[in-house]
C-alpha cells in the first residue's frame, strides 16, 4: 500500500498459522487499520507484529494509531524498531525528526504529519529473527544508523525500507546518514543475495537484486 503525501510503501505479509507482519506504517492509520483487520480475518492470525525499517516519521507516523485500533479490536500487537535508531522513538522522537526534516527543508511535512511516537516494544539488531515469523533483519546502515531490511518468504523477498530503490538508494543528506555506508551496505549485505530476490522498497516500484546489483559491481 502507498500512503501519505510522499507515497510511502506499507507492507502486510500474511501466511496462515503465523502472526501478521506489518512493515513501516507511515500514514493513514484508519485506512491501514481496516486493511490489517481484514488481513487478520483472512489469515486467521492471532497476533500482529509491526516492524519499522528505520525511524523517519514518514515510515512510523501511523504506528500509534494502528496499534490503538488493534488493541481496541482485542488483537495482541508487538512493535519492533532498529536498536541504532532509538532516538526516533519515545522522549527524543520529536527532536530527532525535527533535526532531520529541518535539515532537508521539509518542516512543512513535519508539522502536518507529526504525532508523538512511543517507544517500540523491542529493539532489534542485525540477524534478528522475528518470533513466529519467516522474517530476518539485515542491518544496512547509511540512510540512518539503524536502517535495516527484512528478508521474508523463505528468502525470496526483501522489504528494503529506504536502503535500496528501483534505480536508486536512500538519501544520505541527513545528520545521521552516510553515503559510503549505504553503498557498502548494498554492495556487501544485499548484492550477495540471489539475483531473483524480489525487492520491495519504502518508496516506488518493486525491483530485483539482479536488476539493481549492476550499479554496485
What is the tens place of the pLDDT at every residue in 52-74?
999 999 999 999 999 999 999 99
d(CA 78, CA 80): 7
Determine whether 105 is exposed, middle or buried from the number of CB atoms within 10 Å of its CB (0-12, 13-18, 19+): exposed
Query: Does residue 4 carry a pLDDT above 90?
Result: yes
pLDDT at 16 exceeding the cut of 90: no
Residue matched to cell numbers 487499520? 33
CB contact at 8 A, 53 and 110? no
pLDDT digits (tens, 9 = 90+) for 112-123: 999 999 999 999
CA 207 – CA 90 distance, rounded (Å):
34
- How far is the C-alpha of 18 from the C-alpha of 134, rounded, in Å? 9
Q: How far apart are CA 151 and CA 38, in angstroms?
A: 24
CA–CA dist 73, 197 (Å, integer): 35
Position 217 scores a pLDDT of 84
Mean pLDDT computed over 198-212: 98
pLDDT digits (tens, 9 = 90+) for 21-45: 999 999 999 999 999 999 999 999 9
Q: 204 falls in which pLDDT band (50, 70, 90)?
A: very high
For 215: left if phi > 0, alpha if psi spans -120 to 50, otherwise beta; the answer is alpha
DSSP bridge partners of 11: 23
pLDDT digits (tens, 9 = 90+) for 136-191: 999 999 999 999 999 999 999 999 999 999 999 999 999 999 999 999 999 999 99
Report the phi/psi class of residue 28: left, alpha or beta, with left for phi > 0 and alpha for psi in -120 to 50: left
Question: What pLDDT, on a 0 to 100 scale, did the predictor assign at position 47?
Answer: 97
Any residues with CB less than 8 A from the CB of 208 and at least 6 apart, and which?
195, 196, 197, 198, 199
Q: How many CA atoms lie within 13 A of 93 on its CB side?
A: 21
> What are the structural domain ranges in the chain?
2-216
Q: Specify the pLDDT at position 17.
A: 87
CATH 3.60.15.10 fits 2-216, yes or no: yes
Q: Which pLDDT score is estimated for 128?
A: 98
SS3 140: coil
Amino acid at each position: 500500500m502507498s500512503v501519505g503525501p510522499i507515497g510511502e510503501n506499507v507492507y502486510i505479509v500474511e501466511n496462515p498459522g503465523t502472526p501478521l507482519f506489518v512493515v513501516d506504517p507511515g500514514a493513514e492509520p484508519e485506512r491501514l487499520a481496516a486493511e490489517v483487520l481484514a488481513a487478520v480475518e483472512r489469515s486467521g492470525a492471532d497476533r500482529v507484529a509491526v516492524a519499522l525499517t528505520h525511524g523517519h516519521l514518514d515510515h512510523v507516523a501511523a504506528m500509534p494509531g494502528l496499534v490503538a485500533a488493534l488493541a481496541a479490536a482485542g488483537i495482541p500487537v508487538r512493535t519492533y524498531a532498529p536498536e541504532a535508531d532509538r532516538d526516533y522513538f519515545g522522549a527524543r522522537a520529536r527532536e530527532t525528526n525535527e533535526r532531520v526534516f529541518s535539515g532537508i527543508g521539509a518542516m512543512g511535512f513535519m508539522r502536518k504529519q507529526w504525532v508523538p511516537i512511543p517507544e517500540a516494544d523491542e529493539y532489534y539488531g542485525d540477524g534478528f529473527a522475528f518470533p513466529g515469523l519467516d522474517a530476518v533483519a539485515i542491518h544496512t546502515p547509511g540512510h540512518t544508523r539503524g536502517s535495516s531490511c527484512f528478508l521474508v518468504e523463505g528468502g525470496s523477498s526483501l522489504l528494503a525500507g529506504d536502503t535500496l530503490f528501483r534505480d536508486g538508494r536512500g538519501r544520505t543528506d541527513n545528520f545521521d546518514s552516510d553515503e559510503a555506508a549505504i553503498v557498502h551496505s548494498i554492495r556487501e549485505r544485499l548484492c550477495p543475495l540471489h539475483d531473483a530476490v524480489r525487492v520491495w522498497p519504502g518508496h516506488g516500484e518493486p525491483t530485483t537484486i539482479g536488476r539493481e546489483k549492476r550499479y554496485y559491481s
